[in-house]
Amino acid sequence: MPVKPDAPAEGVGAVDRALSILFAFEPGDAGLTLAELSRRTGLYKSTLLRLIASLERARMLVRPGPEARWRLGPALVALGLRAEGGTALLRETVPPVLRRLVAETGESASFYIREGEARLCLLREEGRHAVRDQLPPGTLLPLYRGAAGHVLSGAAEGLSVTIGERDPELAAIAAPVRGSQGLLLGALCLSGTATRLCEARYRAPLEEAVRREAAGLTALLGG
């Protein structure tokens, strides 16, 4: 459990106050309002709003919906991964999940992380269908199109399904994978042809598989 920083005798006060906002979040917090942040930090709301604006620009805080409720952002995830040896933990834990998904569904399975204003295919297991979505690891795709993009951008809090959004021939199902304190680590994704996935009866067990494996991976990673 991180310890909230005490105000030092010397130092940059604005930095200390900004850090107090980040440390105000506790495990299980889905998001905090301005009033909640003020109560936990002891800062005036006007001061909070100025500091929050800077933290939002750095993607350390995000406000995914129309409500004035903030949560910890993807920049903190990136820093945490670097502190733990980059993406080593993900490269160890995710591939078995991707292989299980392919074995169960036959569709291609991927794990995406946010890379600035794009999404990066970090890990990939190709599907077994002759006609499939083929994508090598390391590929950058648009952040705001496709199921995994909706998850990583905060447009979808849970399972996301898109049919023909990024490419009219392709479809995808994605779910968030979280680490400690609910931080978004990435998006677990199944993708295939729009022809197959547009059928609700075919898609339903795939959605359940993605939801189940994302939940298991979240638990494994401390979420």
pLDDT at 167: 92
Average pLDDT, the chain: 87
pLDDT at 92: 86
- Which residues of the chain fall below pLDDT 50? 1-11
pLDDT at 157: 82
Q: Quick one: 30 exposed, middle or buried, by C-beta within 10 A (0-12, 13-18, 19+)?
A: exposed
pLDDT at 12: 66
pLDDT at 2: 41
| pTM beyond 0.85, yes or no | no
